[in-house]
Structure 1
Amino acid sequence: MVRDADTAGGPTRREFVTYGSAIVGCGALAGCAAEDGSTDAADTAGSGANGRTETESDPAGDATPTAAATESATPYSVTMAPVGEVTFDAVPEQWIAYCGEYADMGVALGRADGMTGIGGADRYYTGVYDELPGVDVDRERLERYPQVRTKEQFYELENDVHVYDPGMLINWFDWDQSDVDEIADNVGPFVGNLIFRRSDEWHDYRYYSLYEAFEKVGTVFQERERFEAFRELHDEFIADLQTQLPPADERPNVFLTFEGTNEPETFSPYRLNDRGTSKKQWRDLGVADALAGTGVENLSTENRGELDYENLLEIDPDVLLIRGHERKSATAFRDTVVAFMEDHPVGSELTAVQNGRVYRGGYLHQGPIHNLFLTERAAKQLYPDTFGEVTEDTELFDRQRVADVVTGAFREE
């Protein structure tokens, strides 16, 4: 790819990309930039898993990429809300993603070497790659650029594509539409969409399921074969799990929440009926939302409401899933958060606490690799009689097969 010698002082438009349409401007609102920003030190994979059956298609917007059919074809285009159509004259080499789901997509597509940093390293969990032979990311590079959110940083890194939803920059980090246009014109285009939840008022354009978004990123990098291999692997995995699920009336109801402290007193609610990708594993595993019928709203930029133990006791879920502790091991989580709840005068009355069914709630930002691990873990948390205890080492999907797709070895089979 030909790279212009652009600088912040006197940039010229990059020639490898053109826009077919621009993002619709978003109103500037106070943002929530770090919902799952756990500060625990160890990046442990634990028994993590996450799967997918969602191939839902929203009625608004074009869900089909307009890219060329082969890697050698050029130019090619990708159409994704909110930016619209972006045409590439060459496959991007250097790239950056705002958050973990899109970073993980790039890794899954074999493009880890081109990732120059990330918008939020605190919510990108790389420990799962340790279980995949030959799969790794440059953690030192991410540590050098762990929060890429300013125009100066975008100019410095000179990426060929920015896998960011520009609406996030506008609504969370006080960018203007003119700032987005400047970086798109002088550095590289934006392709991305906030998909982890669907409850922000400013997000008034179409959403994508995990694999719809993954397909778009696969088109950006002209990695259709890898994407299809991942989709096949994922669909087989989820279908196999679903054939083993107990009848619906025998499944537990679940309260999913965020609370990042070791001594929780209040809990921010998530609604499973929000089709964001962060709840994908729970939908795929057919659990009921303990908040159904309560009128409690989903956590979002606008809604920061919390529930206390008395509120929780009224709901009294079968399973309690707490986010904000993914850098803890399962043992460390039990020794801190669960131990505190067991000693709490009201918390100890919760059915989930008494039955030992309080677990880490999974990543807020999960890509296709994360999703496999988190679904595996969720299956054990919810249905231990079927899939084994979450503390056991039983593997529900083939790690080597995943690694072969990432490294390209699957093409040799």
Structure 2
Amino acid sequence: MPEDPRTRNGRTRRDTLKYGSTLVGGTILAGCVSGTGQGDTNEDEGVNASPESESYSVSMEPVGEVEFDRIPERWVAYDGGYADMAVALGQADGITGIGHAPRYYTYVYDELPGVTVDREQIEAYPEVRTKEEFYELDNDVHLYDPQVLINWFDWNDEDIDEIASNVAPFIGNLIFRRSDGWHDYRYYTLYEAFEKIAEVFQQQERYEAFEELHSEFIASIQTRLPPAEERPRVLLTYNGNEEPETFSPYRLIDNGTSKKQWLDLGVEDELAGTGVENLSTANRGKLDYENLLEVDPNVILIRGHDRKSPAEFRDTVLAYMQDHPVGSELTAVQNGRVYRGGYLNQGPIHNLFLTERAAKQMYPEEFGDVTDDTELFDRQRVADIVTGEF
């Protein structure tokens, strides 16, 4: 830890970037500012800029209102979804680390001219989860849901208060799934959360450009979908092994952002009506091949393999399942319809690529095979937004 972690240039971070009304009695009152519940809205959420100064505030649960006296430059995100939001907003140069590097897929930026992220910096700080690291990195904002640190990494309210007061505020909301019992405050859709991060960095024009592009892209995909009765029923699971024996279930009815592409493509959950619960902090149940055979899905989607190409996935995971005495009986395996299931944490750029991939996986006769080079959205247009040339 630095000798004097609370100061830089003679000023504390509390002087320039600070919480508003959510710090009461030294603790964060999660969910108290904007109400609770998945569908809650609040008229005072958003940016409350003061015409007399450059300060502004952003309101997002669970921390509530966060006040900024200047636009953040240095930042760290817990997951790849929020990191991708910052990159989409032209803030790639400010990244100092990540909370979980293996799930931040930066290779997608290789297809966007002029868009790069310093992977060396990320690998230097690939799991930013300790107070010492927060002090050392000395960021201007932490794109973390603080309840993740409390519920997954044994922090407490006093730890959150300390870092928010002495280094920089937290702002973020765990949105990739909606099955954790401790998350009893409002959830956000991908673009609702993205809009909040745009307010943090005062990049509303970039956000609006992305929102327009995204709406046009999704609409163009959905107009080409077959009737609902002809769409596949899928089983979304997780197993990162090349020789999977059990599978963690991800329910599409969960509505978390990690399922966005599947929901936009209108596929149905093969586990509907089975009573199988979604993977969560409390539920770590798994399905074996006999369980899968009972529902016998048309398509199986397996997460944990998104650093493999489609060919590598087929040569390892699918090949193992085809040779498995029970797995080989599954309809999806026999038809070769076992695919990579997409990222757990996705931001707006990720989502464009994942939706394109998923459209090909689900409807190859309409959108082309997942291994071909057909592009369903304009890479240059995305790059222009990120680089400010829109």
Q: Same fold judged by TM-score > 0.5?
A: yes
Work out whether 1:261 is the aligned partner of 2:262.
Answer: no
Aligned pairs for 1:200-279 (under 5 A) are: 200-279=180-259
Letter in 2 for 1:352: A
Cα distance in 2, alignment partners of residues 146 and 355 from structure 1: 39
- Cα 1:12–1:93 change in 2 (3 A) is closer
Work out whether 1:24 is the aligned partner of 2:4.
Answer: no
Shift of 1:58: 4.1
Tell me what 2:155 maps to. Answer: 175
> Cα deviation per residue 1:308-328 (whole Å; 9 max; x = unaligned)?
001000111111000001111
Cα distance in 1, alignment partners of residues 301 and 39 from structure 2: 32
Shift of 1:19: 2.0
CA contact 1:92–1:220 (8 Å) conserved in 2: yes
Tell me what 2:97 maps to. Answer: 117
Equivalent residue of 1:79, what SS?
strand
Shift of 1:13: 5.6
Equivalent residue of 1:273, what SS?
helix
Shift of 1:21: 1.2
Work out whether 1:280 is the aligned partner of 2:278.
Answer: no
Work out whether 1:129 is the aligned partner of 2:109.
Answer: yes
> Cα deviation per residue 1:151-206 (whole Å; 9 max; x = unaligned)?
00000000010000000000000001000000000000000000000000000110
Shift of 1:18: 3.2
CA contact 1:6–1:187 (8 Å) conserved in 2: no
Work out whether 1:14 is the aligned partner of 2:14.
Answer: yes
Shift of 1:223: 0.1
Cα distance in 1, alignment partners of residues 388 and 50 from structure 2: 19
Equivalent residue of 1:396, what SS?
coil
TM-score w.r.t. length of structure 2? 0.93
Q: Identify which range, 8-17 or 384-393, moves more after superposition.
A: 8-17
> Cα deviation per residue 1:249-289 (whole Å; 9 max; x = unaligned)?
00000100000111111100000000100000000000000
Cα distance in 1, alignment partners of residues 165 and 120 from structure 2: 29
Work out whether 1:359 is the aligned partner of 2:323.
Answer: no
Equivalent residue of 1:359, what SS?
strand
Residue 304 of structure 2 is aligned with which of 298, 314, 324? 324
- Cα 1:9–1:408 change in 2 (3 A) is closer
Aligned pairs for 1:2-401 (under 5 A) are: 7=5, 12=12, 14-16=14-16, 17-22=18-23, 23-24=28-29, 58-62=38-42, 64-68=45-49, 74-401=54-381
- Cα 1:13–1:140 change in 2 (3 A) is closer
Cα distance in 2, alignment partners of residues 134 and 66 from structure 1: 30
Shift of 1:387: 0.5
Letter in 2 for 1:296: V
Cα distance in 2, alignment partners of residues 326 and 225 from structure 1: 31
> Cα deviation per residue 1:17-54 (whole Å; 9 max; x = unaligned)?
2322143369xxxxxxxxxxxxxxxxxxxxxxxxxxxx
Cα distance in 2, alignment partners of residues 15 and 137 from structure 1: 30
Equivalent residue of 1:409, what SS?
coil
Shift of 1:59: 3.1
Give structure 2 stretches of 5+ with no counterpart: 32-36
Cα distance in 2, alignment partners of residues 13 and 338 from structure 1: 51
> Cα deviation per residue 1:42-89 (whole Å; 9 max; x = unaligned)?
xxxxxxxxxxxxxxx94324374124399x962111000000001111
Shift of 1:12: 4.9
Cα distance in 1, alignment partners of residues 247 and 297 from structure 2: 13
Cα distance in 1, alignment partners of residues 191 and 333 from structure 2: 35
Equivalent residue of 1:178, what SS?
helix
- Cα 1:69–1:15 change in 2 (3 A) is closer
CA contact 1:76–1:88 (8 Å) conserved in 2: yes
Letter in 2 for 1:66: V
CA contact 2:30–2:63 (8 Å) conserved in 1: no
Tell me what 1:34 maps to. Answer: none
Letter in 2 for 1:236: E
CA contact 2:6–2:167 (8 Å) conserved in 1: no
Cα distance in 2, alignment partners of residues 62 and 77 from structure 1: 15
Cα distance in 2, alignment partners of residues 221 and 12 from structure 1: 20
TM-score w.r.t. length of structure 1? 0.88
Shift of 1:6: 5.0
Q: Identify which range, 60-69 or 213-222, moves more after superposition.
A: 60-69
Cα distance in 2, alignment partners of residues 238 and 123 from structure 1: 24
Cα distance in 1, alignment partners of residues 144 and 89 from structure 2: 17
Equivalent residue of 1:85, what SS?
strand
Counting aligned pairs with the same residue, the percent is: 70
Letter in 1 for 2:5: T
Letter in 2 for 1:169: L
CA contact 2:6–2:13 (8 Å) conserved in 1: no
CA contact 2:30–2:185 (8 Å) conserved in 1: no
Give the root-mean-square deviation of aligned CA atoms.
1.9
Cα distance in 2, alignment partners of residues 68 and 241 from structure 1: 37
Cα distance in 1, alignment partners of residues 53 and 201 from structure 2: 12
Cα distance in 2, alignment partners of residues 327 and 388 from structure 1: 21
